[in-house]
Structure 1
């Protein structure tokens, strides 16, 4: 047995069957490669910097990669088609959006004054309009959050190491900061509706705690949250005026985003995650830190598999996890165990600046691309007003195509699901619709 195999950290039990490659990932935190030969278009759209890995086949088999086909006759033909077809695909919706077009008056009232000189902007999509109009507020909130958190973390003592006895009771002050900031943020966003959200969280917490270690806790959590989601759609967020006429005035204080039940669809998955992690903790399905002698840092998969002491599964930590602003507003889904380990024992190594810069550049490019489309292609307004009378098949197809592009850019800008393939890169419309849902 070689030295590498002797020093490898023992594998941890997992909650669900994993691929054979799991044992290779569990030993030490995975070092992702972010080295490229240069910047390409996927770096600004669908590439996830942290997911770049070397091919296992090339490492194990030692085979040489196939020669590049970029300079072949086949690809030169693709370039020629691209230079002709793509400009036409852009020109068609731009020409349809001209004020001189006979259909322009049908959707003119859906347009607003834009920031690009001489252009109106199609800001008619209600979901994206909420995000777009509040970009300055969100930017200030993000900067304020980072500043206050930096000050709070610099004043708080360092968390104990993984090998210290204090680790069992370590609850960092950053969690209390996140709890307070989360409640303030959600209150500003949803106003009086924050009481409904906290009530739902409290019932979920009671189900997990009272039925601890029982399979019925998982079943009841799914049933309750499924009923809540169904009720949210039927009663449109359980407006108080529908049930008590004397409280109807409270519905007017619904914050910046009164449709709280839309974003709550993703929050529900975090509530289920808490119940599942607590169920495994009660049944000793996960390992304790005592089983990891000599480990200085936890890998991503270890943070998900390791359970916490019972005291960590508190209501305050649960609320801080469920309403943590970055995850609440945009996702993705992080397990409760992972969330708590990242607070209790953050990695000593600071995050690499390359992925952060990559994400920032990509967001700005996506945002500016969306702005250009909305200023020069009024396809959303055309679709809403059904102002396609007299259009040719090519023109109608381009209205539909660019509406899909806008939906994709909207998701990329507003949520962190950058793995979502662009419509023109999908194998079929059903696959794109499935990923969006």
Structure 2
């Protein structure tokens, strides 16, 4: 395999997640479309795609890469991209007048002669613990193998052997069923035990607080009358989000002060007695992550998933859906793994603990539904191969290296935190500070998500990929939210959007219903991230910025422009530039500089004649970028890949 072919396979969407190249209704395949089999290549040459035989390749336009227009776009890239990096690099240099303000936030880096901007609290907590996380990621599968070797019954199969094998005369349906049930029990038993130990290591004496919340939620699902479960689930879990925030993780010192105070000692002052009690002693042993409540938001999603998957399973009629549909239980499609309920006995407290506290996904996700988790515990998905997992790990390392280079040479987070005088920067410098701040946000979230997904893949569980495209390869608000934190988006659709009515139906009334549903969803999303005004504003801005795209797609339907495709591409490009500006503004408010910081950036850019001129050139450059994005998606279509993001 040539270097170019290897790079193509490394960066193929199939390596990222087979869900992008396989229909959700089709069982996953071990074949990599970047290196198709001869039979599959023949299908593609005849115009049949991977998604159920649909002729999607023929819908692509001829390549434009060598056209005069795209030669111009290429020249714009050659000039603009290096200039973007150069500009933000210059304002990060000691020679910059504002350097003295953010210099205290920098620390010595591992690249010779460079300081590192490790001032982002969220990313620094991950970056500082990367070596230890890699050790745990290595030990976890080894411990599972050791556990399997000890616990496998005599004559039974170890976990590594409990994989789907082609049917033969010696393998009966009953024996396959028995092996799957043994695998499920063995894996969930290990997961439950290891996860509790992992929980204690992470949160110390706060681990019982987490377990109490988990037990109450399980009781709501299994003990309440069926008709009360949905309402009680939402009230309890949203209440937990607020309670965790307001109670600051419920310190034992506060509990002790109100319930069982420490007996006063004659050798200590009254003031010391009020500030020191048995709870204070417990609080000092908070584990590796004492503030457990900060990361509990992801766990809340799994609590809701379990309760609703269990609730919906109660509404199913008797009989196995797998037998009724004559499906292969060992190789179900993703939709079947999610929609087909687990067996009644699978909703046990042990399986519940194993799912909610599953170590590789506990801290940050990606989010896997309970039904999907149980299905994959019975049978390892066909999508998991050593080659794919290795390539996925290489991609993670490349992203980690890109982040390290960025924070060693571009100090956008430190500049933003130092509250600089925005007026000293030129409009171009201000725009680049905002742009690279968003890239930092993108990378700091991508890296933990991909790290923990890699850990899960090594362990034999395939959760959805959270990040589909680079931050700079998005032009649609709808598509951006389908591809950003993708597992969360799918969770929102399954547990909120569809139960509320989804798209709302045809007509104007249906569109308004859909927009109202989106407003509710993004309000929940904002509260779920953090109970702060700026995030609530961010959520409402996102819901508001969906409106222009909705109106534009209504006024300019694609089918009416079939005979004017080039003009339609230009119109879409203009609209996409507006979308990008709105998305950048909303995300800067929510995750980077806040509302006041955005106001300073906007005033610095649009508050002068030179700034307006720059904005015009910036929009023209964004238009070039959008046209390249359009062509990249057409290129995917030419290879039989059609994604909605």
Q: 1:113 touches 1:121 (CA, 8 Å); kept in 2?
A: yes
Q: Out of 314, 323, 327, which is 2:361 matched to?
A: 327
Give the equivalent residue in structure 2 for 1:127.
Answer: 122
Give the equivalent residue in structure 2 for 1:48.
Answer: none
Q: Residue 368 of structure 1 aligns to a residue in which SS?
A: helix
Task: Report the Cα offset of residue 351 of structure 1.
Answer: 2.2
For 1:376 and 1:393, locate their aligned partners in 2 and report how far apart those are by CA, in whole Å. Answer: 21
* TM-score, normalization by structure 1: 0.82
Q: 1:240 touches 1:250 (CA, 8 Å); kept in 2?
A: yes
Q: Out of 248, 257, 271, which is 1:236 matched to?
A: 248
For 1:286 and 1:367, locate their aligned partners in 2 and report how far apart those are by CA, in whole Å. Answer: 49
Give the equivalent residue in structure 2 for 1:18.
Answer: none
For 1:286 and 1:86, locate their aligned partners in 2 and report how far apart those are by CA, in whole Å. Answer: 60
Give the equivalent residue in structure 2 for 1:87.
Answer: 82
Give the equivalent residue in structure 2 for 1:379.
Answer: 412
* 1:15-414 superposed matches below 5 A: 26=25, 29-31=27-29, 34-36=32-34, 54=49, 59-60=54-55, 63=58, 65-154=60-149, 156=152, 157-158=156-157, 163-164=174-175, 166=178, 170=182, 171-211=184-224, 214-245=226-257, 246=277, 247-284=279-316, 288=320, 289-291=322-324, 293=326, 295=328, 297-299=330-332, 300-347=334-381, 349=382, 351-388=384-421, 390-414=424-448
Distance 1:76 1:154, change over 3 A: farther
* Structure of higher CA gyration radius: 2
Q: 2:49 touches 2:55 (CA, 8 Å); kept in 1?
A: no
Structure (1 or 2) with the greater helix fraction: 2
Unaligned runs of 5+ in 1: 1-21, 39-52
Give the equivalent residue in structure 2 for 1:419.
Answer: 468
For 1:106 and 1:122, locate their aligned partners in 2 and report how far apart those are by CA, in whole Å. Answer: 13
Task: Report the Cα offset of residue 143 of structure 1.
Answer: 0.2
Q: 2:244 touches 2:250 (CA, 8 Å); kept in 1?
A: yes
Q: Deviations over 1:224-258 (max 9, x none)?
A: 00000011122222222233333123222222222
Matched, 1:428 2:580: yes
Stretch of structure 1 that moved more, 193-202 or 127-136: 193-202
Give the equivalent residue in structure 2 for 1:6.
Answer: none
Stretch of structure 1 that moved more, 173-182 or 216-225: 173-182
Q: Residue 204 of structure 1 aligns to a residue in which SS?
A: helix
Distance 1:286 1:434, change over 3 A: farther
For 2:89 and 2:314, locate their aligned partners in 1 and report how far apart those are by CA, in whole Å. Answer: 60
Q: 1:408 touches 1:422 (CA, 8 Å); kept in 2?
A: yes
Task: Report the Cα offset of residue 409 of structure 1.
Answer: 0.6
Q: 1:379 touches 1:403 (CA, 8 Å); kept in 2?
A: yes
Stretch of structure 1 that moved more, 167-176 or 314-323: 167-176
For 2:217 and 2:409, locate their aligned partners in 1 and report how far apart those are by CA, in whole Å. Answer: 47
Distance 1:254 1:25, change over 3 A: closer
Q: 1:122 touches 1:375 (CA, 8 Å); kept in 2?
A: yes
Q: 2:87 touches 2:429 (CA, 8 Å); kept in 1?
A: yes
Distance 1:84 1:434, change over 3 A: closer
Stretch of structure 1 that moved more, 278-287 or 107-116: 278-287
Q: Deviations over 1:63-107 (max 9, x none)?
A: 374221111111111111111111111011111111222221111
Distance 1:429 1:198, change over 3 A: farther
For 1:336 and 1:121, locate their aligned partners in 2 and report how far apart those are by CA, in whole Å. Answer: 41
Q: 2:89 touches 2:410 (CA, 8 Å); kept in 1?
A: yes
Q: Residue 418 of structure 1 aligns to a residue in which SS?
A: coil
Distance 1:242 1:64, change over 3 A: closer
For 2:65 and 2:237, locate their aligned partners in 1 and report how far apart those are by CA, in whole Å. Answer: 51
Stretch of structure 1 that moved more, 76-85 or 145-154: 145-154
For 2:172 and 2:238, locate their aligned partners in 1 and report how far apart those are by CA, in whole Å. Answer: 40
For 1:250 and 1:162, locate their aligned partners in 2 and report how far apart those are by CA, in whole Å. Answer: 53
Q: Deviations over 1:158-188 (max 9, x none)?
A: 3697645647964421211111211122222
Count of residue correspondences: 398
Task: Report the Cα offset of residue 388 of structure 1.
Answer: 4.2
Q: Residue 245 of structure 2 aligns to a residue in which SS?
A: helix
Distance 1:372 1:162, change over 3 A: farther
Task: Report the Cα offset of residue 280 of structure 1.
Answer: 2.3
Task: Report the Cα offset of residue 281 of structure 1.
Answer: 2.4
Q: Deviations over 1:192-235 (max 9, x none)?
A: 221111111000000011025x1311110111000000111222
Distance 1:145 1:167, change over 3 A: closer
Q: Residue 102 of structure 1 aligns to a residue in which SS?
A: coil
Distance 1:162 1:313, change over 3 A: farther
For 2:242 and 2:433, locate their aligned partners in 1 and report how far apart those are by CA, in whole Å. Answer: 33
Q: Deviations over 1:258-283 (max 9, x none)?
A: 23222211111111111112112223
* Aligned CA-pair RMSD: 3.1
* TM-score, normalization by structure 2: 0.57
For 1:418 and 1:178, locate their aligned partners in 2 and report how far apart those are by CA, in whole Å. Answer: 26
